[in-house]
Amino acid sequence: MSNDDIATILWAASGVNRPDGKRTAPATHGMQYNNIYVADYEGNYFYDAINNRLALRNKEMSKNKLSVQHHVAQSSHVIIITADLNRVPGLMSNREAKLKWANVTAGTIA
């Protein structure tokens, strides 16, 4: 798959689809605190949702570091969803609540 094809798939998962910057996947209070990365044989990419593209972060082969399961390293692409807990809305003040909402949002993206 080309990076453009993957970016199109990721747009459906969490791409910007409105002039106000909101995305295809809902997030708590419309705050975007989840990020998507892709690891492949070429390196690691950040999904730039605003520009709908994969931006190369580094050329490190990291798929084998993501899991002890060997099939992960052998896959063509691995999608990684992260969350910046500092950006989860203040109403969810404790770490457990923030993790819950970050996981719910990641599940919606997936």
Question: Over the stretch 67-107, which tens digit does the pLDDT of each residue have?
Answer: 999 999 999 999 999 999 988 876 667 889 889 989 999 99
Average pLDDT, the chain: 91
Tokens found for residue 74: 């052998």
81 contacts 110 by C-beta, under 8 angstroms: yes
pLDDT of residue 4: 95
Count, residues in the chain: 110
Q: What is the domain count for the chain? A: 1
Two tokens, residue 94: 């404790």
Q: 54 lies in which domain range?
A: 3-109
pTM > 0.85: yes
**Are the CB atoms for 51 and 15 separated by under 8 Å?**
no
What CATH number did the domain enclosing 10 receive?
Answer: 3.40.109.10
Q: List the structure tokens of 7.
A: 């970016």
